[in-house]
A and B are shown apart, each in its own frame.
Chain A
Amino acid sequence: MSLYRTVLLTENKHGVLAKITSLFDARGYNIEVLTARKTTDPTSMKIMLIVEGDEKILEQIRKQLYRLIDVIKVNDFKLVNQK
């Protein structure tokens, strides 16, 4: 499987990170890299994650990330490297 990277813009609230990571957890996907920090607007947070997974499933996760109430914006998963 390949590594993919995405960047999310979310509300800066408790529980947001857990809601996001549990979508990967539920499918048994390991998150390889994750960074999160608040933006210049303190009510928002930017999260970058790199995850190993199947492209089709990641597209489904992308939609489900977008469905999360606290997620404002989701970028497409971009291929980082082929293993």
Chain B
Amino acid sequence: MLKTGAKIVIDGLLAEDVQYIFGIPGGAVLPIFDELYHRRQQLKFILVRHEQAAGFMADGYARSSGKPGVCIVTSGPGATNLTTAIATAYTDSIPLVVITGQVATSLIGNDSFQEADTIGITRGITKYNFLVKDVNQLATVMRSAFYLATTGRPGPVIIDIPLDVQLSKGKGKSELIMMRGYNPHYVGHIVQIKKAAKLINRANKPLIYAGGGIITAGATDVLAQLATTIQAPVTTTLMGLGAISACHSLSLGMPGMYGNYIANRAFQECDVVLAIGVRFDNRVVGIPKQFAPKAKIIHIDIDPCAITKIVRTDIPIVGDVKKVLIKMLQLLEARDHAPWLQQLRKWEEKFPPLSWSDHQLHAPYIIKKIAAITNGEAIIVTDVGQHQMWAAQHYPCHFPRHFISSGGHGTMGFGLPAAIGAKFANPTKKVILITGDGSFPMSLGELAVLAINQLDIKIVLFQNGFLGMPRQWQELFFAQHLFGVDLNTADGTPKPTRHSIPDFCALVKTYGINSVTIKQKAQVLPTLKKHLLSNKACLINCPITRLDGNYPFIPPHHTVKNTIHGGQS
């Protein structure tokens, strides 16, 4: 039976059990929107305010549910606006299927109205992209896109569909997917696994370096079992938070530039690193040659490209993290590394995390109270900046897919739309956005989506009037030349007086969203209790101490030896 391209698209989405599609219509996708109109009961369309946010919502949906996120935008500006969201998903290996309209085939290359070379622009930030010029291939492309986005190392896939292809009729049945060049390697090589197990069995100071790959593979239970068996401490990256409960006695917290001191110290002292589903990000590794100097490195990853990319690997294992760990677990001996674990705790006592015991309002204090009130069961979504690192350091994450943050790409403005996507995916869970006054305004328009869909999302806004990350670096590395960082002056040179433009509470009121401002430390607990436990969206505005920094902090090109333990500057 022949179908229009538009119908093939929607049929393809329904065949993949897509529930929500985020986007904005435009001239080059209207045939698909017309088809969506007819099927709006089966496939819910969520109208957003900026294409980038459509991508972030699909991303938040995917990160919190494990299912691919889907969005649809028009050609030209629709597609170019979306690029930052696509890059964000690409860096963090998040499965997205993105449908972009394109000008009619006959107009491509003519500098037509709202034309952009979408597949050219997105080449480096997608796992794959399709320009569909023949409607007869569209059904197969739809299936292939979901297959590519969700298998192997997941990632965003774009389907660019010219207007005439959406309107013309073709065969609606997908052919068998044939991709000679795509064979993700799921089963790890047994010889390598045996070698790794032997090394771990002989280790005295093993360290597990756990990343987002564990969450993607659904391997959190196996990880906990493995860590307990061999009694190895576990450090979880920003993307891996929740891979093991932060309360687990073997958990060392996050490593890296803004990581826990003991996590970083453990890298320096350990004799075996078991790296699982990580990509040795430069913010974790620091100086590659001085990374884990005494250790042999075992690296398990589904993507061969991740192996020996930054740090030499002694035993690479390419495969699905879960499958490999299950096999490895059978070969591992139960161990007790008490001296090693005691040593780590001693270091922790020597350099305890900051206590923030004064009477001022500090973000870490508030974050800890949020965790206490929600029992760590809420889905925490963050933006990017100081608040993000504070949340990563001080919010004890217990479950996978409960800490949603733009890790690799570090995209400000991610938070609000990602929280909206997470809420659509998890309507019965509490979703809390932790954001700052630098990031939040970047996606303000999406407050309309939150309000119109009556989504119960709590927004905790840390307001210090600064772009705090660059400010901290200017303080430390640019001779205190603070510039471009005060959000309330024309060129960002700090002024001693405190302003706030806009008045965020008044602003959210225009969207019909309630707000409250916490002015004193004593108000933190009662205010959070009242508003976090309610079932209505709310902005919790927290004007925090202006000059707090993110500590501990390892300056770039330094190692744990040069950790700045900081304090309240």
Q: Is the CB of A15 within 8 A of B119?
A: yes
Query: What CA separation (Å) do A67 and B305 show in the bound complex?
Result: 7
Q: Find the B residue at minimum CB distance from A14.
A: B131
Query: What CA separation (Å) do A22 and B129 show in the bound complex?
Result: 14
Sorted from nearest, which 3 A-B pairs have the closest CB atoms? Answer: A63-B305, A72-B181, A69-B182
Assuming the A-B contacts A11-B180, A15-B131, A64-B305, are A26 and B124 also in contact, with contact meaning beta carbons closer than 8 angstroms in the complex?
yes
Asked if B148 is an interface residue, CB under 8 A from chain A, the answer is yes
Q: Give me the interface of B with A, judged by CB distance under 8 Å.
A: 119-120, 123-124, 127-129, 131, 148, 179-182, 303-305, 307, 309
* Per-residue contact bits, chain A 56-83, to B (CB 8 Å; 1 contact, 0 not): 0000100110111111100000000000
Contacts of B120 in A (CB 8 A): 18
Assuming the A-B contacts A22-B124, A26-B124, A69-B148, are A60 and B305 also in contact, with contact meaning beta carbons closer than 8 angstroms in the complex?
yes
Query: What CA separation (Å) do A11 and B131 show in the bound complex?
Result: 15
Q: Is the CB of B181 within 8 A of A60?
A: no
Given contacts A70-B181, A72-B181, 5 further A-B contacts (CB under 8 A): A11-B181, A18-B123, A63-B304, A69-B148, A72-B180
Q: Is the CB of B148 within 8 A of A66?
A: no
**Closest beta carbon of chain A to B497's beta carbon, Å:** 46
Q: Count chain A residues whose beta carbon lies closer than 8 angstroms to a beta carbon of B.
A: 18
Contacts of B305 in A (CB 8 A): 60, 63-64, 66-67
Contacts of A66 in B (CB 8 A): 304-305
Query: What CA separation (Å) do A18 and B129 show in the bound complex?
Result: 12
**Closest beta carbon of chain B to A53's beta carbon, Å:** 16
Query: What CA separation (Å) do A66 and B120 show in the bound complex?
Result: 20
Q: Is the CB of B124 within 8 A of A67?
A: no
Query: What CA separation (Å) do A53 and B277 show in the bound complex?
Result: 29
Query: What CA separation (Å) do A63 and B120 show in the bound complex?
Result: 21
Contacts of A63 in B (CB 8 A): 304-305, 307, 309
A-B contacts, 17 of them at CB < 8 A, read A10-B181, A11-B180, A14-B131, A15-B119, A15-B129, A22-B123, A60-B309, A63-B304, A63-B305, A63-B309, A66-B304, A67-B305, A69-B128, A69-B181, A70-B181, A72-B180, A72-B181
Q: Is the CB of A19 within 8 A of B123?
A: yes
Query: What CA separation (Å) do A59 and B182 show in the bound complex?
Result: 19
**Closest beta carbon of chain A to B160's beta carbon, Å:** 11
Query: What CA separation (Å) do A11 and B179 show in the bound complex?
Result: 9
* Per-residue contact bits, chain A 16-41, to B (CB 8 Å; 1 contact, 0 not): 00110010001000000000000000
Query: What CA separation (Å) do A22 and B122 show in the bound complex?
Result: 11
Contacts of A18 in B (CB 8 A): 120, 123
Most buried by B among A60, A64, A68, A69: A69
Q: Is the CB of A67 within 8 A of B131?
A: no
**Closest beta carbon of chain B to A24's beta carbon, Å:** 12
Assuming the A-B contacts A60-B309, A72-B181, are A67 and B123 also in contact, with contact meaning beta carbons closer than 8 angstroms in the complex?
no
Q: Find the B residue at minimum CB distance from A11.
A: B181
Contacts of B124 in A (CB 8 A): 22, 26
Find B303's partner among A10, A26, A60, A67 (CB 8 Å cutoff): A67
Query: What CA separation (Å) do A39 and B245 show in the bound complex?
Result: 54
